[in-house]
Amino acid sequence: MVEIIHHKHSIGQLSFHFIWKPKYSVPVFGVPEKRGYMIWALKQVADEWKIKIYEMEVMTDHIHLFVEIPPTMSVSFAFNVLKGKTAKMFFKRFPEWRRYFIKGHKKAHLWSPGKFFRNVGSVTAEAVQNYIKHSNNWNFEFIDRGQVKLKVWK
């Protein structure tokens, strides 16, 4: 189960569902050897960049990942390292696919530039909205004692 993580200067959760696919939706991972290698490569890259994989499915023509990224990492950077490093590893292991994906380009591109991501939290959007809407009902007795000054949003 995904839990809120306590870091040195923060508390939070950055869990996402990522989906991306190979260029031209080519069923690259239809062969068990290539699928297995991609699973291994994704785990290696995730470990290197401290991306925690909760669930993974390498389909014949796309990838699904349920991950948690470090608080210092952007979603865009997470995609860059996952897609970039795995492509490099895959082309090194299977050079015939490098030749296939380089057609008409200066450089081979395994992955399509598109991607899907969705934040996967432990609460719904409605719960967050309700929490913020009713946050003015908090008891802030310590403010009356002059310890803290807060701007009131209206």
118 within a domain of the structure (yes/no): yes
Nearest Cα to 82, choosing from 107, 52, 61? Answer: 52
> Is residue 132 assigned to a domain?
no
63 - beta bridge partners?
A: 20, 58
pLDDT of residue 125: 67
The structure's pTM equals 0.78
Residue 92 lies in a domain: yes
Please report whether residue 130 resides in a domain.
Answer: no
Task: Tell me the CA distances in angstroms from 126 to 112, 130, 131, one per residue in order.
Answer: 33, 6, 8
Share of the chain above pLDDT 70, in %: 80
- Residue 86 confidence (pLDDT): 97
Decide if 42 contacts 65 (C-beta within 8 A). Answer: yes
Tell me whether residue 140 is in a domain. Answer: no
Indicate which CATH number applies to the domain containing 9. Answer: 3.30.70.1290
- State residue 104's pLDDT score: 73
Block residue for tokens 């050897």: 33
For residue 108, the enclosing domain spans 5-122
Which residues belong to the active site? 131
Higher pLDDT: 151 or 112? It is 112
